[in-house]
Structures are given as C-alpha cells and as structure tokens.
Structure 1
Amino acid sequence: MGANGLKHALSIVLCCSVLILAGCKDDGNVVLASADSTGANSGDSETPNNDGSGEDNGDDTSAPTVPVAESRAGRVYDETLTIATNDGGTDDIVLTVMEPAELVAGESYPLILHGHGYGGSRSKTPDAFQQRLRDAGYYLISIDQRGFGETSNTVRVMSPDFEGQDLVGVLDWAENLEGLARRANGKMKVGSYGGSYGGMYQWLLAGADPEERLRVIAPDIAPYDLTYALDPNEVIKSGWVLALVAAGEVPILGLATTGDPSVIVDHVLEQVQRAEGLREDPVIYEAAVRGALTNRIPDAALNLFRYHSLRFFCENEPAGSQDGFTIGVPDPLEVAPGGLHKIDALITQGFRDTLFNFNDAANSYDCLKALGGDVRLLTHQTGHILPASLGTAGLEDPLDPFYAALTLPAFQDAGGSQTCGSLDLYDVTFAWFQEKLQADKGALDAALGIGDKLCLSLAEGDAIATDTIPRGGESFDIAMDTPALSGTLGILGSVLGSATREPLLQTQSFYTAPVGGGVVAGIPHIAITVDQIIDPVGDLLGGILGQEQPGDCAIDALALGCDPIYFLALGKRAAGTARWDLIDDQLTPLRGFGSHDLDMTGIAERLSEGDELGLLIYGFHPQYPVSFSRDLLVPASTINGSVQIPILDPQDYETGV
C-alpha cells in the first residue's frame, strides 16, 4: 500500500473514530467503558499452591523476605522500572505504589495489582476502593501499561512478549516490598483487579509468569478471545475497532480542536511511517486500515490477536503465523500456549456490553473452572457502551409518530450500575480479596449470599441466580420465504419500521409470554442455512473470477455473488406496542452462504405477560458501520432453520438476589 493509499485509509479510520468518540468525553477524558470495576464472588475452596505441589489454603504463611523494620505510616510513591522484552529491547514501566495505610513491625501485607482501561493510565492517588484496600492492610500497585500514561514504547494490546514480560518484571520487582505477605510455599500473596484492558492484563500475567504467582484475580468486562471480540464470525466489529483506535491515541484527538482535519492525518501518517510517536503500534493501525479497506481483518492480525488472548493460554494450540504485516513487526512468539494454572477468579461481565459480551465471560468461566479453582461469575447492566443513539441525538421522540414506517436503529442504550440485583460488586470484590488473601473466612458469604451460583442481571435491581450458564433451549423455526435484504438494500431494510419489516419477514415473532411472564437468560443458539437467489449475471461473473461455487469468494476485496452479511438479534416487543427492541442491544453477525450452526450473543431479560420474542434480521447496523456486505450481486438471500432460546423454567433459577 503506497503512502497516498495509506493516507487516504487513515483519513477514513480517524475521521470515523473521532465521530464515534464525539459523544464519549467526560471532563476531557475518553470514556469507553465503565470505571475500572470489580466484581466478586465467594467460596470456601482452598487457594491453590503456587508451585503446584499441593494445596495452600491461604491461612498458612511464611515470613516476609524483607520484614517491616519499624512501624510507620504508609506512603504513596512512583517508581520507574526498566524491563527486558522478548525482542531484545526494554520498556520503562511507570507505576504508583500505595503502601498499606499503616506498616507495623512484625506484620505482613498482601499485594493487589490494578490495571487501567484502554486509553487510560494508572491511579496516581488512591481512589475510594483503593483506599479501602490500603486501610484493610494491602499494598496496591497501579501500572501504566506499555504505551499508556508515562510508560515507554507502543501499545501492542497485551502481547505475551512485550506487555507480558513487563508485568512479570513488575512482580519480580515487588518481591522486595517491605513486609510483603507470603504463602507457606514462599510465593508472594498477590491478587489483581481492573476492567476491560485492566482485565486483559490479569489473563496475561497469569499465563505468562513462569513463577505462576498470580492466583487470585477479579477481571471485569474482559475478553476471552480478541479474534471473536473484534471479528465475530468473520465480520469486523467496525464501530468498536474505530472507537478503540481513536481511544488509544488521545493526543491525536486533541489535535482535532485545531479545526483542520488534515493536520491529524498528516501527523498520523508521519508517525506511522517513522514507527514512533503514536501510542499504538503500527501492527494495530495496519490491522484497522486493511480491515476497513477489504472488509476483512488480515490473517496475520487475527493470529496476533489470538496470541494476545486468554484463549491462547487455555488451549494447547501453537500461535499462528504473523507473517504478512507490511508496516508492523510481528511478535517474537516466545511464549508457549496452554499451561495455565489453577486460579481463583471472580469474573464480572455486563450483559449490555457490545465489545466484550457475555459469551466472552462464559468462555473464560468455563476455561478457568475446568482448571479446578474457585471461579465465580456475576453480571451487571453496564460495560462497553457505544456512545451515540437516537435518544442522545434527540431524534427518537420526533420520529416516534412515524415509527411504524421508519426506524433508524440506534447504536445501543445507556448502561447501568455496577450491581447484580441487590449485590454491590465493589463490596463483593473487597470481600473476595479479604477471604482469599487475608484469610477472613466468611467474608464472601456475608457479602454475596448466593454461594457459588451465577448471578444473571435482568435489569437494574433485578437478577436471578442459576447453577450453570443456560445454553440453547426451546427451539423455534425460522422461515424466510421472502428474501432477507443484504448489502445496499440491507441498509434500506434496516431503517424500515415494523409495518414494513414484518411483511418482509425481517422480523419474526415466535413466542408470547404467558400469564405471570417469564425469564429469558443465557446463550441462544442458531442453526440456519443462507441460500443464494439465482442470479445468472452473478453466476457468470463467479465463473470468470474462479469461484468453485456461489458461496466462495476468490478475491476478498472484490466480492461478487458470494458475500452476504447479516446481523441477527433477539428482540422483545412489549404487550400492546408495535416497537421491537433489541434485547441488551446484542447482535450476532454471520457471513456467507451455506449452513451456520453457532451460538448467538448471550442475553438476559424479564418478560411480562403478553411480551413477544422475535428474531430481527438486519443487513446493516450502526454497531458495524462499515462492515455491511459490499457484494453488489447479492441484494438478498433466503434464510431458513431454527433458533434455540433459553426460556427458563422457574425451577431453574432463584429470585430475590
């Protein structure tokens, strides 16, 4: 790609990014997710021994390597560490150390790590939760991750070879903290918390540290697999990709105030060519630019994202090749797959999160649960929320009288609080650390009240508890006798209102809640076939382009007669109304002709008597602003099959959470 082509592509990416983030500023700070949040759960299982030689329940301790010399008030101070990375270079990692409020001679204190969200930076002074931990006798270390805050070099989005080595180096340095608590086996007592990117570092450190020191974690709204999070079912989550690229370059957003967009583009192009000055590494820009141009993320980038995911440490599959970058340098791939140890994990996740959705949390839960640790899963009503919607733009009410004829789909609704029913997840997280690191037995039971059950949030103040993650469920047929619109027609079909969409079968109602209502919660499943409508012109061009059959795209950048893209959702229509609402704003994209047998995105909703459930089909949605089908020869397809919905029986869950 030449300089002019790259400049044009970056213009598109950055302009779209700035527009997406225009409504995301709060006192000058970019806000892409909830505040670094925590969640928690309890349990009386033993904390595993870090050397794998047996169990260490947390009550047994050994003496600190460096005892507290004399009693004194705890300090808050900054530290800069120079740490070697796997490419032969070094990173200067800046962190803030928050000592316990009081250090007492002869006493010992566990360590808790804190990580910020993407585009953020470390806590330089204790916030309310951190001060609570200090007062309870914990060390806190808040870290500027690679490329963010005052830490050097570029953001590679949690590479085991770069950010991973940085994090291992932080623990190596912390070994000599005065009065650091240790388990009976001599390993440090250390826990971690943080949300989003601040959850990803916990997965990475747990998998990349050869000493296996991190055994107690509390990640919130963190992905299991970045390839699924950013490219679900081979459809780029372009709304979020553009937003994240912009969020990682906060200084560039500041240049937008000059009023001359060309200044931004010239600055970015110059820095990318020099491979310096940007927060994000050139590999991230190349993935975004090439994805925007071709409508597909290149294989090298997908392999990079998978290597940077919890999935890599959960599965014993070697990292895929990252060859193929033109302006970016691949990872050295020095860290082996699999080998993840037993961990006590308090996983929290927002059902409204459209970047890292409930399926991410479910897969992380399954992975860590299989390792034998105490693993809990609680949900809430916030997370990564795209900023713009009809409501925030002031358009929904004026259009409401015409809703039956025209409905512009919103990004998504606003998020909620960090609670699951009546459970305050900050309080539960504090209790999690108290029980796991301070041997405060009973702290979790007092804060949680549902034992090791899962907490599924249905709405603000409304939640249920289940023993397992509901998957699949009651089956309903999908019959698409009238074609589903794709491509440019799909954009038109997506803004049509119910009065038009329902006769076109773009909306299919299949269930009405009985007397007393009900609950739908869990991960739906869909098994469908997307069939091509015969098009002699498309068949002819397909043969010329060398396609083996109508569903094969020989050239990704020139898809002709082979590349339908749809966005499926489960919707709820309240009794007596005409409006369909996406449940939890969740979409499931799919791409291509043929059979598709896959999980839909997880949801949780309470139904009132007379509420309808239906399948909504879009050829375009603002959550995926540049990811609709560009295939001009596939204006429509037929879709048939079935969808399995987790409509729960009252005996399957507990209320009153």
Structure 2
Amino acid sequence: MGRYLAPVLAGLLLLVLPGAAPAAEFSKKSLAFEVKVGPNGDQDCRIVADLYTPTGATKQDPVPAIMGTNGFGGSKDEFSKLGPSFAQRGYVFFAYSGLGFGNSGCKITLDDPDFDGKAGSQLVSFLGGTKAAEDGTKIDYVETDRPGDPRVGMIGGSYGGQIQFSIAGQDPRMDALVPQITWNDLAYSLTPNNTDLVKGVTYTTPGVSKLDWPTLFTAVGVQQGFQQAIQNQDPSHLGACPNFTDQVCQSLVTSALLGYPREDTLALLRHASVASYIAKIKIPTFLIQGQSDTLFNLNEAVATYKDLFAQGTPVKMLWRSAGHSGGSLGTRENDSTNLEKAYETRLALEWFDFYLRREGDAPALNFSFLRDWALPESGDAAPSVGATPTYPAGTDQQMFLSGTNELVGARDAVKPGTAQFAAVTGAPTGRGNGFTSAPGTADAPGTFATFTGAPLGENLDVVGIPRLTVKLSAPVHAATQGGDPGTKLVLFAKLQDVGPGGATPVLPRDQLSPVRVGDVTKPVTIDLPGISYRFKKGHQLRLVLTTSNAVNRTNNVAGPVTITADPASPNVLTVPKLGAQTGADGSGPSGTTPFSAATGAPAPQPAGSGAPRGTSRSSLPSSRRCVSRRRFTIRLRKAPKGDRHRSAVVTVNGKRARVLRRSKKTGRLRASVVLTGLPKGTFRVRVTIKTAKGRTLRAARTYRTCVPKKRR
C-alpha cells in the first residue's frame, strides 16, 4: 500500500467525472469487395463489410485498425456494438461477413487458409491503402509500418477466432491477435479422441464422432445458404451440398454413419486448423477460451498455447466462463459498449493499446482463469480471475484407483480388486459433452465403473487438465481392434463432484472426454477435460468410465470390460492442484488475483515481448500500487518540435472527464484525475491530446482503486 501523491499543483487541468458521455465520434460506411480465393486463387467471391472510422483520422494523423469477422452462422452485424466502441477509442474497425455468411458470397470452407485466409489477406490490403472496394473507396488513414503494411490486429470468437490464424499464417502484415473460443484441431473438435495424442490434441487413432454439434452447424449453414440464394439472387451458395463445399458434406455424413473420421476427413479438417501451420504464427496472440464449452474445450487452447510458447511467439491465455455451451456472466465478464468496465474486454483493449499503439503497461504474458467459486457479489468479475506467470497453474497431485470402486490418495493404500462393466451397442445413454446440459440422462446400469474418493478434508482447487492412466481388459475388442477403427473400444471418462448426503453428482461444466482405444492390451493414458473448479471440503471426487454417451457415436462392438486394481502397478488419476494465492484479491494485472507458479512450470515470457518500436508521447503515473491512486496527476510529454498541445480529452472507464482549467505557464498539459468516491475496482484511464498541427497523442493505463489504510 502506498501513500497519496502530493497535492495537485495550481494551474493543472481539473477533471471531474460526470455521467456517461461518448468518448469520441465515428462514422460508419458499408462496403463490398471482390476477392479471389482457392488453392490457385482463381475463384471469385464477394464480401460485404462495415468500416467504422474515428473522427479525426487522416492521412496526416493515421490510426491503427482492428478487424473482426463473425462466428458460425453470424455476420458483420455481430460487431454493431464492439466496432463503435473501438472507433470511439481511436481505432479504425473493419467488420466483415465471412464467406458463406451474412450476405457474403461463396460457400463455407471452415476457415481454410486457401479460401477464408486468402480472402482476409486481401482485406488487409484495403486497410493498407492498396485495394479498393467495389465502389472505388480507398483509405489512407490507417497507420502503416511501411507502404501497404497497416498496423492491424484482429478480434473475434469461434469461427471468427480461427480465421485470425488463417490470415496471420500467410500474411506477415498482421500485428496482434485476440482469438476467442476457437479450435486448435478441428478433427479433435468434431471427432475427439483423448488418447494416442501425438501433439496437443492431435491424435493417431481416429476419434469418436459427435452427433449434436455437427448436426446443428449443418442445419444453420444450409439454411443460410438457401436464404442468401433467394434473397440476394446468389447461386454461389447452392449445389449438391448447399452452402458447404462438397467435401465438407461428404465428411460430415460419413463421420456420422461410421462413428469415426476417415483419412480424407482428417485431412480436410486439419488443413483448416492452426495445429497444422502453428509454426507460421509469430505475432502476439491473446488466447481466450470458455470453460463452458463442449465444442472447443480448454484442452484446445492449451494445445495452441503450448506450441506458441515453445516456439517463442508472445502468448497470453485466459480461461473465461462463457463458451458455446453457456456460462455467460453478462457484462461482469465482457462489455461491448464499455470495454473498460469488464475484465475480458478490458484485457483485450489493453492488448491492442500496447501492441498496436504502444500505450499503457506491457501486458503480462501469463495464464489467467476465472474461479467461479470466488465471484464477487456484483460488478466486474476480475478479482475472481486467478493468474499465474505461465501455464500450467496447478501442481500434479496423484490419486489411485483401489479395489472395486475407490480413489485413494496414497499408493500404499491401494487394495486389489476389479470393476466390471460392458460395452453395448444400440441406444446411447449417459450425460455430458452436449451443446446443452441433459440432467435427466443417466448412465445405464452395467455400462460404467466408478471410483470415489473419501470426503475432502479441505477445499481442492483444480486448474488444468487432469490425466488418467489405466489398464483395461477387453477380450472381444482385443480380437477385433486390428481391423476397422469402428471395432475398437470406445470409452467416455469424466470427473464428478459428489456433495454430502448422497447429493446428485455434478459434472463440472458438463465436460467429459471421449476415447477410442487404439490397443486395449496396453495401458491407456486419457486426458480429461481441462477445468477450473473447486471441490469443496466434505465433497468427494468421483471418476467415471462409461461406454456410452447420448451425444456421441458409441461402440459398434459389444463386449465385457474390466479394470483391475493392482497395488504393484496401480492405475493413476493425476489432478493439477492450484497453488497459494500470493497477493490480495484484485491486486494482479488488470484487477486479477495472483497465484504462485506450479512446480516445474516454465519461466514466463517477458511482459510486452513482440511490441512495435516507439513509445507513447505521454506518460501516466505508475499503476503498481492501489491506495495512492485515488488521486493522481497526468504529465504529458512535450509536443513534437514546432507544435504545441491544443486540447485534451480524458476518460475513465469510457466516461469522459470535463476540463475546467488549463495551464498557461508551460507548453505542457497536466491533469488531475480524482477517483475518490468510485467503488473499489479496476479503472482504465485514457488521455487523447490534439496538437495545433492536427496530430493526435495518446496514453492509457489501468488502475486499481482500494480503501486506504487508516493512519495510526
């Protein structure tokens, strides 16, 4: 805790926070573009877009740009709030509808670099001033690093997340990425296998087909194709596979029928996945993944993070609450109209401010994770977000399968025994892994085995990917597994929370791990779903292995399955246990809460690695301490030689401050920011200076307010 700054000097700008007011004005213009895509660049497509331009952006005073495109089934209209918000903060925002969606032409190609990536790269050229829209519009007010090379970042979720990799993997002009809730390997996403992993989530034994997500996406894509074909008189969406390429339709159908992906399907899906070209991603990347997501789970983000980290690409990872399967915290997590108010949008803004404008503190290249057991009663959820210097956050803690149904904490406590169940064909049962939770769907008797631990003596906070190594006996499958992949044993592994008094078990975020066992005669290692979850004192951990699930294809071959507990060679469940909290709630970067690094975790990347050259021409007081920052002075650097400061605008969390007085003593501007009276929390202060010659100078920094210590 620090002391208050010295009293504000006479002659300073005095800034008073009134009610909400717009931080800046902007204009919006709808545009259309012709692009050429395909492996040979010979297929014509039309893309529609909206361009949000901040008032005052000119060739003489250019600003950086941010791109965004839609999630699956959406359009450029998804950015009708976020685009203006970034424009009000001094960015050109370029929102467009991806191929096959939202009145853009051609078919859906799953963010494939040869199609979606090439299209996006040509739109970067528009921002760089070298490509015109259909109506002849060209722009020259986006900041450039060299002619035709705009200073540009990109943000978007799901389908709008993967496209960022697809563009950046072939266009070195991209500068910073914020991909949200997206995939690493689309083969894993749609046909997962959580064993036989060769790298990240990429497997060798063909996975287990999901039923619900592919069906949903097919219906949405086809419906939009017919709608656009009729509404826009655009036949490019039609054909044998409406609004999808023929290969996509063929792969979806065969995977659903067979229960696993064929080699041509794996090739198609992986060609459209960053896992296949991760080495080409060299620019700062802020990965955001949702905990409530049975489509693109946390394991996918970890796979991307680890690869980027290993090759030296600056990378930061956040596990937020919301994903494709729910978990929304509303504006407590992200706020498209007031970016500074909620932790996720504030972190994204800080990322772009630094990497596109070199404003504010260098972002910590850390790992952060929402802890839903620590949510504040209201307001910004930032204090409930833990942060460790790198991933992993949790130190491995082992538990052992014992007897017929127990989990024990010590190897010497393992008792011999067997658990027997059966793989069955026919109607699938069992809950978990669906796009909506199905609480009434229970595992059928005889199709599963459970191993339950003793009541916990203290809270156990698990952050990371649990792992199971188990030995199976499945004689029927051992005899058939050498043939078609569909004859191999299919399992589903899940970790449940059992409350006191026989309470109904809870499946954290409805997650489980589908598994197709390559060889049942060898020990099987299974990655369970990544979680950030508290198992409370008095609760019990329960491991479930089942052979059926309601939303996945299951076994094609029936047969008995046995798990044997052997004290000499036990089956092991490893859970990553979160370490100690190392600072006060909300005392970490951007209002998060710091935790100790996991044992054996790699050293962190230096904060701000990969930043552009140059510094801001204004400075703000340090944000390292919180008590002193209820009242502080902004000191702006001198204007460029031959120029002078003309006016200043200061905002706090997007609300504009009112200037009451300006110094006449020096050519430099100062301002007093008073946060007294604001609630405890995190606030981003931004200052924008206009000079007499029309230049714009900017600075920004995030502060944490708190209650000062009482004087003794």
From 506, 521, 532, the counterpart of 1:604 = 532
State the shift of 1:218 in Å: 0.6
2:385 alignment counterpart? 463
1:158 alignment counterpart? 111
Counterpart CA distance in 2 for 1:307 and 1:475 is 37
Question: Structure 2 vs 1, CA of residues 601 and 162 (structure 1 numbering), >3 Å: closer, same or farther?
Answer: same
Range that drifts further, 483-492 or 215-224: 483-492
Counterpart CA distance in 1 for 2:370 and 2:174 is 29
- Tell whether 2:480 aligns with 1:554: no
Question: Structure 2 vs 1, CA of residues 654 and 236 (structure 1 numbering), >3 Å: closer, same or farther?
Answer: farther
State the shift of 1:530 in Å: 2.6
Question: Structure 2 vs 1, CA of residues 217 and 227 (structure 1 numbering), >3 Å: closer, same or farther?
Answer: same
Contact 1:226 1:305 (8 Å CA) reproduced:
yes
1:431 alignment counterpart? 350
- Tell whether 2:49 aligns with 1:95: yes
Question: Structure 2 vs 1, CA of residues 192 and 76 (structure 1 numbering), >3 Å: closer, same or farther?
Answer: same
1:646 alignment counterpart? 576
Counterpart CA distance in 1 for 2:429 and 2:249 is 31
For residue 149 of structure 2, give the secondary structure of its aligned residue in structure 1: coil
- Tell whether 2:163 aligns with 1:201: yes
Q: Which has the higher strand share?
A: 2
From 540, 547, 554, the counterpart of 1:628 = 554
2:421 alignment counterpart? 484
Counterpart CA distance in 1 for 2:118 and 2:293 is 29
1:15 alignment counterpart? none
Alignment of 1:111-130 (within 5 A): 111-123=65-77, 127-130=80-83
Contact 2:308 2:315 (8 Å CA) reproduced:
yes
Counterpart CA distance in 1 for 2:226 and 2:394 is 42
State the shift of 1:350 in Å: 0.8
Counterpart CA distance in 1 for 2:263 and 2:208 is 13
Contact 1:564 1:637 (8 Å CA) reproduced:
no
2:493 alignment counterpart? 568
Counterpart CA distance in 1 for 2:441 and 2:272 is 42
State the shift of 1:102 in Å: 3.4
1:217 alignment counterpart? 177
1:526 alignment counterpart? 468
Alignment of 1:195-344 (within 5 A): 195-209=157-171, 212-233=172-193, 234-251=207-224, 274-275=239-240, 278-314=242-278, 338=279, 340-344=280-284
Range that drifts further, 471-480 or 431-440: 471-480
1:168 alignment counterpart? 121
Larger Rg, first or second structure (1 or 2): 2
AA in 1 matched with 2:289: Q
Contact 2:225 2:243 (8 Å CA) reproduced:
no
Counterpart CA distance in 2 for 1:106 and 1:498 is 63
TM-score (norm 2): 0.63
Counterpart CA distance in 2 for 1:591 and 1:190 is 42
State the shift of 1:190 in Å: 0.4
Question: Structure 2 vs 1, CA of residues 489 and 618 (structure 1 numbering), >3 Å: closer, same or farther?
Answer: farther
Deviation string 1:605-648 (CA, Å, 9 cap, x unpaired) is 12321111110223222332xx11121x3254447622111123
From 573, 580, 603, the counterpart of 2:505 = 580
State the shift of 1:235 in Å: 0.9
Counterpart CA distance in 1 for 2:56 and 2:344 is 26
Deviation string 1:558-581 (CA, Å, 9 cap, x unpaired) is x5xx43211111111123343111
Counterpart CA distance in 2 for 1:357 and 1:346 is 16
Deviation string 1:531-562 (CA, Å, 9 cap, x unpaired) is 214xxxx5xxx9xxxxxx51525245xx5xx4
For residue 429 of structure 1, give the secondary structure of its aligned residue in structure 2: helix
For residue 597 of structure 1, give the secondary structure of its aligned residue in structure 2: strand
For residue 476 of structure 1, give the secondary structure of its aligned residue in structure 2: strand
Counterpart CA distance in 2 for 1:496 and 1:434 is 43
Counterpart CA distance in 2 for 1:215 and 1:283 is 33
Range that drifts further, 172-181 or 469-478: 469-478
Question: Structure 2 vs 1, CA of residues 567 and 655 (structure 1 numbering), >3 Å: closer, same or farther?
Answer: farther
Instruction: Extract unaligned runs of 5+ from structure 1.
Output: 1-71, 256-269, 315-337, 386-412, 446-450, 543-548
2:133 alignment counterpart? none
Question: Structure 2 vs 1, CA of residues 653 and 488 (structure 1 numbering), >3 Å: closer, same or farther?
Answer: farther
Question: Structure 2 vs 1, CA of residues 500 and 171 (structure 1 numbering), >3 Å: closer, same or farther?
Answer: closer
From 365, 381, 384, the counterpart of 1:452 = 365
Counterpart CA distance in 2 for 1:565 and 1:253 is 37
Contact 1:532 1:638 (8 Å CA) reproduced:
no
- Computed over aligned residues only, the root mean square deviation of the Cα atoms, in angstroms, reads 3.4
Deviation string 1:132-180 (CA, Å, 9 cap, x unpaired) is 2111221111121111122221111011211121111111232212211
Question: Structure 2 vs 1, CA of residues 648 and 251 (structure 1 numbering), >3 Å: closer, same or farther?
Answer: closer
Counterpart CA distance in 1 for 2:74 and 2:162 is 14
Counterpart CA distance in 2 for 1:499 and 1:438 is 53
Range that drifts further, 604-613 or 197-206: 604-613
State the shift of 1:296 in Å: 1.5
AA in 1 matched with 2:177: I
Range that drifts further, 647-656 or 171-180: 647-656
AA in 1 matched with 2:159: Y
State the shift of 1:84 in Å: 4.2
From 150, 166, 174, the counterpart of 1:188 = 150
TM-score (norm 1): 0.68
Contact 1:77 1:96 (8 Å CA) reproduced:
yes
Question: Structure 2 vs 1, CA of residues 414 and 577 (structure 1 numbering), >3 Å: closer, same or farther?
Answer: farther
2:320 alignment counterpart? 380
For residue 241 of structure 1, give the secondary structure of its aligned residue in structure 2: helix
Range that drifts further, 341-350 or 88-97: 88-97
AA in 1 matched with 2:176: V
Question: Structure 2 vs 1, CA of residues 254 and 570 (structure 1 numbering), >3 Å: closer, same or farther?
Answer: farther
For residue 140 of structure 2, give the secondary structure of its aligned residue in structure 1: coil
For residue 506 of structure 1, give the secondary structure of its aligned residue in structure 2: strand
Counterpart CA distance in 2 for 1:629 and 1:287 is 20
From 439, 455, 479, the counterpart of 1:512 = 455
Deviation string 1:309-355 (CA, Å, 9 cap, x unpaired) is 111112xxxxxxxxxxxxxxxxxxxxxxx4x1421111111111111
Counterpart CA distance in 2 for 1:384 and 1:297 is 23
Contact 1:120 1:149 (8 Å CA) reproduced:
yes
Deviation string 1:32-81 (CA, Å, 9 cap, x unpaired) is xxxxxxxxxxxxxxxxxxxxxxxxxxxxxxxxxxxxxxxx9644222222
Question: Structure 2 vs 1, CA of residues 136 and 529 (structure 1 numbering), >3 Å: closer, same or farther?
Answer: same
For residue 275 of structure 2, give the secondary structure of its aligned residue in structure 1: helix
Range that drifts further, 83-92 or 489-498: 489-498
Counterpart CA distance in 1 for 2:512 and 2:39 is 38
Counterpart CA distance in 2 for 1:121 and 1:254 is 14
Contact 2:237 2:243 (8 Å CA) reproduced:
no
Question: Structure 2 vs 1, CA of residues 168 and 132 (structure 1 numbering), >3 Å: closer, same or farther?
Answer: same
